């Protein structure tokens, strides 16, 4: 019988999912250390549609990255 993941394991998984599939590819694609909210939303929508992942899971990953200080939001830039 498999146990469900704990709260911390889920948060770590969501952070990693967002970093590996949205944040880092955007940094590499744009060739700059920041990106706009619009660029982020476009990448998020594309990723969620392609992988069939709920946008709320991705949003939770972004919030978690911001809370941990790994991603900084300044007006309309990350």
pLDDT tens digit sequence for 25-48: 999 998 998 899 899 999 999 999
Q: Quick check: is 37 in a domain?
A: yes
Q: Is the pLDDT of residue 1 over 50?
A: no
Q: Quick check: is 30 in a domain?
A: yes
Q: Is the pLDDT of residue 2 over 50?
A: no
Q: Quick check: is 48 in a domain?
A: yes
Give the Cα-Cα-Cα angle 33, 38, 40 (nearest 5 degrees): 55
Nearest to 56 by CA among 23, 20, 10, 24: 10
Query: How high does pLDDT run on average in the chain?
Result: 86
Q: Quick check: is 56 in a domain?
A: yes
Predicted local confidence at residue 26, as pLDDT: 92
Task: Give the total number of structural domains in the chain.
Answer: 1
How many whole angstroms separate alpha carbon 67 and alpha carbon 73? 10
Instruction: Give me the domain span that covers residue 47.
Output: 9-67
Mean of the pLDDT values across residues 51-70? 89
Q: Quick check: is 39 in a domain?
A: yes
């Amino acid at each position: 019988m498999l146990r469900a993941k704990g709260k911390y394991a889920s948060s770590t998984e969501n952070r990693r999912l967002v970093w590996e599939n949205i944040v880092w590819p955007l940094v590499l694609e744009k060739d700059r250390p920041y990106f706009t909210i619009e660029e982020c939303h476009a990448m998020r929508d594309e990723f969620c549609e392609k992988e069939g992942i709920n946008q709320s899971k991705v949003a939770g990953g972004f919030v978690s990255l911001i809370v941990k200080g790994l991603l900084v939001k300044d007006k309309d830039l990350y």
